[in-house]
Amino acid sequence: MQDTDHSAPPFEVSGAVDVYHAGSLLASLEEHIRSHAVITIDLSRADSFDMAGVQLLRAAKKTAEEAGKPFALAGVPESLRAIEKALGL
């Protein structure tokens, strides 16, 4: 069942978080959220984002919140802020 370790390792994302990679990221993110009590996603090594990537991260946040688990993004790169701004979010 759930991992109760509060110092759970962050979920590390690297490379492009886009429509081409969202499918595989989705599965591992889902698995990560299911098996950890505190969710941290480390984006410091992610280099590019598109709208699908933005949606995926927001879906992850929603999933964690609905499960009552704290959720945080770490190492948010400028490129993510830029696209969120462009999308009016």
Partner 1 sequence: MSAPNSSDTFLLEADELLGQIEEVLVELTPETASPDAINQLFRAFHTLKGSGAMFGFTAVADFTHHVETALDLVRSGRLPVSQPLLDAILAARDHIKALLEPPSLAGSGQDGNKIVAALEEITSAQANSQTAFQADLAAEPTSIGELRTWRIRFRPDPGLLAAGMSPLPVLNELRGIGRCEIAGHADEIPTLESLQPDRCYLWWEIALTTAKGLDAIKDVFIFVEDGSEIAIEPDDSAEAVAEEPGEGPEVAEPDSKKQTRSASTVRVPAEKLDRLVNLVGELVMNQSRLTQVSSRADVPGLAEPVEEIERLVAELRDSVLGIRMMPIGATFTRFKRLVRDLAAELGKEIDLITEGAETELDKTVLDQLADPLVHLIRNSIDHGIEAAEERIRAEKPRRGTLRLTARHTGSNVVVGIEDDGRGLDASRIRAKAVEKQLIAEDASLTEREIFNLIFLPGFSTARQITNISGRGVGMDVVKRKIEALRGSISIDSRHGQGTKIDLTLPLTLAIIDGLLVEIGGDQYIVPMSSVAENVELHRSERATKNGRNVVAVRGELVPYICLRDAFGMDAGHADVQKIVIVQHQDQRVGLVVDRVVGSHQTVIQSLGAFYGNVEFFSGATIMGDGRVALILNLMGLVRSSDKNTERQFA
The site for partner 1 (CB under 8 A) is made up of 19, 22-23, 25-26, 29-30, 33, 50-52, 54-56, 58-60, 62-63, 66, 83, 86-89
For residue 64, give the nearest of 27, 29, 35, 39 by alpha carbon.
39
Question: Whose Cβ is closer to partner 1: residue 8's or residue 51's?
Answer: 51
Three-state SS for 16? Answer: strand
CB contact at 8 A, 22 and 53: yes
Question: Whose Cβ is closer to partner 1: residue 19's or residue 74's?
Answer: 19
Alpha carbon 37 to chain centroid distance? 15
Question: Whose Cβ is closer to partner 1: residue 63's or residue 75's?
Answer: 63
Smallest separation (angstroms) from partner 1 to the CB of 45? 20
